Amino acid sequence: MVDLSTTLSSLRLKNPTMLASGIMDEDAGSIQRMMDCGAGAIVTKSIGIQPREGYPNPTVLELESGLLNAMGLPNPGIDHYGTELLHLKKSKIPIIGSIFAAEVKDFIFLAQKMEQFGAHAVELNVSCPHAKHYGVEVGCDVVLLQNIISSIKRKIHLPVFVKLSPNIMDLVDIVQAVEKAKADAIVAINTVKAMKIDIETGRPILANKVGGYSGKAIKPIGIRCVYDIAQHVGIPIIGVGGITTGEDAIEYFMAGASAVQIGSAVYYRGPEVFRLICREIQTWMKNHRYEKITEFIGVALQ
Ligand SMILES: Cc1cc2nc3c(=O)[nH]c(=O)nc-3n(C[C@H](O)[C@H](O)[C@H](O)COP(=O)(O)O)c2cc1C
């Protein structure tokens, strides 16, 4: 019997495939659909205090081996989004509320709201590569980040996950600070800062010019980040970036991830991707005589 369950702090997931933030998670209906398609947990769209329109179009481009996006964190604001989450309050699948802000007090406010609205954990998006003041600037300021994490931990009872960017040089210093501040898990990686230029017009195509690259092309970057992080912290790591097949997920587990998030592959393989990836992991495990994922988490580190 193959057991796909995994744990992230106090959360128990029936399988290790989670929906990544920002993909098909804008309302209760789309989240329910992802749950019905087998996701082991859901991360919400990143939500701020006020409604935000995001950037003008074009906001998403399909490139050779992935997607380039600069959405600009569009969201309806925490109070409106909360009414969507209340529809899912009875759900048995864990929901992780992703939040973004620039200041400690706003992060605390959003985390408390997520707790009230029934989220099972919060994920701090401190890694958006294209949102001024709300993104990587927060995630690479060690003092600010530690202050955000420890302040939230004092105010809410939920596990706190921290989502980091591959665009920072001092990843090891940051993850050690994150663990010291008592975060419950690290999520790696957010999109990779990137750009596409139209050679006929000589202009960047995205309205915001710069965006974040996701999908197959970034998997080796995500694997390297998870591998580096796993050597320096003891808290669980959630791997994300380019996971499209069960084999991709297994590679992340071997690098040290306890669960994985799937974003762009929902676009490439459809919402059924969660069930498909679980089946692929199960087949591989059977063929290699593994019964539990924990048997091969981090084997590449040994
Ligand atoms: C269209 C789009 C929107 C995204 N929005 C968010 C977001 O709101 N918050 C966040 O933390 N990450 C966001 N991401 C990043 C994903 O959650 C994920 O970290 C990244 O896409 C890498 O995973 P993937 O290769 O499986 O897509 C977004 C990605 C895409 C493609």
First to last CA, the chain: 26
115's tokens: 């707790």
Give the C-alpha separation, 251 to 234, whole Å: 19
Give me the tens of pLDDT residue by residue for the chain, a chain 302 residues long.
Answer: 899 999 999 999 999 999 999 999 999 999 999 999 999 999 999 999 999 999 999 999 999 999 999 999 999 999 999 999 999 999 999 999 999 999 999 999 999 999 999 999 999 999 988 887 777 888 889 999 999 999 999 999 999 999 999 998 889 999 999 999 999 999 999 999 999 999 999 999 999 999 999 999 999 999 999 999 999 999 999 999 999 999 999 999 999 999 999 999 999 999 999 999 999 999 999 999 999 999 999 999 98
Give 295's Cβ-side CA count (13 Å radius).
10
Atom nearest to 244 CA in ligand 1:
26
CA-based nearest residue to 242, from 283, 208, 292, 277: 277
Beta strand 121-125 pairing with 160-164:
parallel
- Ligand 1 centroid–CA 290 distance in Å is 31
Claim: this prediction has a pTM higher than 0.85: yes
Known active-site residue 128: yes
Give the C-alpha separation, 282 to 262, whole Å: 17
Q: Are 185 and 8 in contact (CB under 8 A)?
A: yes
270: left (phi over 0), alpha (psi -120 to 50) or beta: left
Atom nearest to 66 CA in ligand 1:
25
pLDDT of residue 196: 98
- Give the position of tokens 């759900």: 91
- Ligand 1 centroid–CA 287 distance in Å is 32
- Ligand 1 centroid–CA 173 distance in Å is 24
Chain Cα centroid distance, residue 280: 21
164's tokens: 């980091």
Pocket test for ligand 1, best of 46, 65, 190 (most atoms within 8 A of CB): 190
Give the C-alpha separation, 232 to 193, whole Å: 25
